[in-house]
């Protein structure tokens, strides 16, 4: 039953790819919608038997492909199914031109299948294969955007993602060489820890850190996420960066993690939180503001990994999928209808649905109760003590300040433009879902704390505005031209090499 979650969207992707040759392209959008929703038919019966696992084809665990649904991957699967359903509704119909919609639907279903396959895998090689299916689909979806610079962003994204994949497959090779297994249960049962295994873990974590785009290996993410179309950005930020996160959870469930590696992960997590917030505060492009918040928010997810609390990481990843996917859909809808991503030219005053959606989603990402973000942050903060707890809270206030800025700009009067009712309803539904899931998981109000954080956030916003921070424009490190792309990539490659050598050297000696 579990493999059918992946097989059904794959089957519909194959069928849709045949339609142009059969002269039946008009059926594409209907089959796409069926393919997108098909996993729901199986998850409803699976969820009653959890935890549930099987080896595909009835083979022995040593030679077969094991798939499992349990408490560690259920939040990822829930987020994937929910957000992909909303995005499918969003793009269904006339979002893409007739001449390209068939290809886009095929790639979207491949992405759907790749993510589901990665989230149910319990052996390293099949996890890697499905993660690559999702990654390659993502490059293609970024490249089809009409936004200026989208193809350059897609190329940079592809290059660094593939480099991360090479490093990860090298790590898998070392693990297989030393243990003789790829199945994670068999690896754990037969593991004899050694220096080579330690090197493999360092390589694997480094490659996955690059793939999730946290600071300081974030250099591909802001361009890729901000240049894509709104629904694609929602999938990239909400789901695609979660596949490597799940890989990290598989690693910490299987291998003993050294104190040094934990320290590196926790330090990287906090640096990413504050770097993302600082960069988001000075952005005037609505999509880049949200993209830098992905850098920041993935720091929270990485913190759960560093604390060796996989459930906290999984549930915060689920929360982030919902509120960030919703933000990209709702803010992206406004930007697409105004024909610009310049914050100063956007307004939500002519759509009460989008206004409510963005306010709800801003409260969710700020961790205000009873939204789902509060539940995710509660799962993380209960593992933190001392000064780090206050640093953690400071990150939440910084996030609120940044979204007060976003709402401040969107609240201004702007030219009246007609919004599509379907897009408004999709955005509002995701916003309401962050509230409903928050009440379901964490039905607690923390009025004093939340009001204090909001008050401090408004105060900080006012001070930064008076200081002229929002008028500050940071010059790009590299010009936005293809001719300079080689030099840009070389610099980032050197930086990545230095980061990798630093971790390797400190982990071995």
CA distance 434 to 164: 32
CA distance 409 to 341: 12
Q: How confident is the model at residue 176 (pLDDT cuts 50, 70, 90)?
A: very high
CA geometry: angle 31, 138, 480, nearest 5 deg: 135
Q: Is the pLDDT of residue 234 over 80?
A: yes
Q: What is the pLDDT of residue 356?
A: 96
Asked if 214 contacts 245 with a C-beta cutoff of 8 angstroms, the reply is: no
Asked if 333 contacts 361 with a C-beta cutoff of 8 angstroms, the reply is: no
Q: What is the pLDDT of residue 472?
A: 80
Locate 134 and state its tokens: 């999702």
Determine which of 108-117, 205-214, 399-408, 500-509 has the lowest per-residue pLDDT on average. 500-509
Beta-ladder partners of 55: 66
Q: How confident is the model at residue 184 (pLDDT cuts 50, 70, 90)?
A: very high
Asked if 271 contacts 218 with a C-beta cutoff of 8 angstroms, the reply is: no
Q: Which residue has the tokens 């009460």?
A: 352
Cβ count within 10 A of residue 104:
21
Q: Is the pLDDT of residue 113 over 70?
A: yes
Q: Is the pLDDT of residue 29 over 70?
A: yes
Asked if 87 contacts 111 with a C-beta cutoff of 8 angstroms, the reply is: no
Three-state DSSP at 481 gives coil
Q: What is the pLDDT of residue 413?
A: 83
CA geometry: angle 248, 251, 257, nearest 5 deg: 105
Q: How many helices (H) and strands (E) does the chain have?
A: 20, 2
Q: Is the pLDDT of residue 13 over 70?
A: yes
Q: How confident is the model at residue 430 (pLDDT cuts 50, 70, 90)?
A: very high
CA geometry: angle 140, 201, 507, nearest 5 deg: 125
- Closest by Cα among 48, 54, 74 to 2: 54
| pTM of the predicted protein model | 0.94
Q: Is the pLDDT of residue 307 over 80?
A: yes
Q: Which residue has the tokens 């052996």?
A: 123
Q: How confident is the model at residue 487 (pLDDT cuts 50, 70, 90)?
A: confident
Q: Is the pLDDT of residue 509 over 70?
A: no
pLDDT above 90: percentage of residues in the chain: 72
Determine which of 40-54, 82-96, 351-365 has the lowest per-residue pLDDT on average. 40-54
Q: Is the pLDDT of residue 432 over 70?
A: yes
Determine which of 63-72, 109-118, 424-433, 478-487 has the lowest per-residue pLDDT on average. 478-487
- Closest by Cα among 271, 270, 277 to 397: 277
- b/e burial code for range 28-67 (CB count within 10 A of at least 16 → b): bbebbbbbbbbbeebbeebeeeeeeeebeeeeeeeeebbb
Query: Averaged over 355-376, what is the pLDDT?
Result: 95
Q: What is the pLDDT of residue 440?
A: 94
What 8-state DSSP symbol labels residue 23?
A: T
- Closest by Cα among 277, 263, 134 to 218: 277
Q: Is the pLDDT of residue 360 over 70?
A: yes
Q: What is the pLDDT of residue 488?
A: 86
């Amino acid at each position: 039953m579990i493999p059918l979650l992946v097989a059904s969207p794959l089957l519909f992707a194959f069928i849709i790819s045949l339609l142009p040759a059969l002269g039946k392209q008009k059926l594409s959008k209907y089959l796409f919608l069926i393919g997108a929703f098909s996993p729901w038919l199986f998850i409803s019966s699976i969820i009653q038997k959890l935890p549930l696992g099987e080896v595909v084809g009835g083979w022995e665990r040593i030679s077969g492909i094991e798939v499992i649904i349990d408490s560690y991957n259920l939040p990822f699967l829930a987020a994937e199914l929910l957000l992909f359903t909303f995005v499918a509704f969003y793009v269904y119909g006339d979002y893409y031109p007739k001449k390209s919609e068939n290809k886009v639907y095929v790639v979207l279903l491949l992405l759907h299948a790749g993510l589901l396959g990665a989230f149910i895998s319990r052996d390293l090689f099949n996890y890697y294969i499905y993660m690559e299916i999702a990654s390659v689909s993502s490059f293609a979806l970024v490249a089809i955007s009409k936004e200026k610079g989208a193809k350059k962003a897609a190329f940079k994204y592809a290059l660094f993602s593939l480099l991360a994949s090479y490093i990860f497959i090298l790590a898998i090779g070392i693990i297989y060489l030393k243990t003789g297994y790829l199945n994670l249960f068999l690896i754990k049962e037969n593991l004899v820890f050694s220096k080579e295994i330690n090197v493999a873990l360092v390589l694997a974590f480094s490659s996955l850190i690059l793939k999730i785009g946290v600071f300081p290996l974030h250099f591909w993410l802001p361009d890729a996420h901000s240049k894509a179309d709104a629904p694609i950005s929602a999938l990239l930020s909400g789901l695609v960066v979660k596949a490597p996160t799940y890989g990290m959870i598989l690693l910490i469930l299987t291998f003993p993690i050294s104190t040094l590696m934990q320290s590196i992960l926790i330090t990287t997590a906090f640096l990413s939180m504050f770097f993302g917030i600082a960069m988001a505060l000075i952005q005037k492009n609505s999509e880049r503001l949200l993209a830098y918040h992905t850098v920041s928010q993935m720091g929270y997810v990485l913190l759960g990994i560093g604390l060796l609390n996989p459930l906290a990481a999984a549930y915060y990843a689920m929360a982030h999928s919902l509120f960030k996917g919703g933000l990209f859909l709702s803010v992206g809808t406004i930007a697409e209808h105004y024909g610009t991503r310049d914050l100063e030219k956007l307004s939500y005053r002519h759509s009460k649905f989008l206004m409510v959606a963005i306010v709800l989603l801003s409260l969710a990402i700020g961790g205000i109760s009873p939204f789902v973000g509060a539940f995710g942050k509660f799962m993380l903060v209960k593992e933190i003590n001392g000064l780090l707890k206050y640093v953690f809270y400071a990150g939440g206030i910084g996030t609120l300040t940044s979204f007060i800025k976003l709402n401040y700009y969107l609240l201004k009067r702007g030219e009246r433009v007609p919004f599509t009712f379907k897009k408004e309803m999709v955005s509002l539904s995701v916003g309401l879902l962050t509230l409903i899931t928050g009440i379901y998981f964490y039905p607690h109000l923390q009025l004093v704390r939340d009001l204090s954080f909001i008050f401090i956030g408004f105060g900080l916003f006012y001070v930064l505005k008076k200081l002229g921070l929002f008028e500050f424009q940071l010059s790009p490190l590299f010009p936005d031209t293809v001719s300079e792309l080689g030099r840009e990539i070389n610099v980032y490659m050197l930086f990545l090499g230095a980061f990798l050598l630093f971790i390797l050297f400190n982990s071995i000696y």
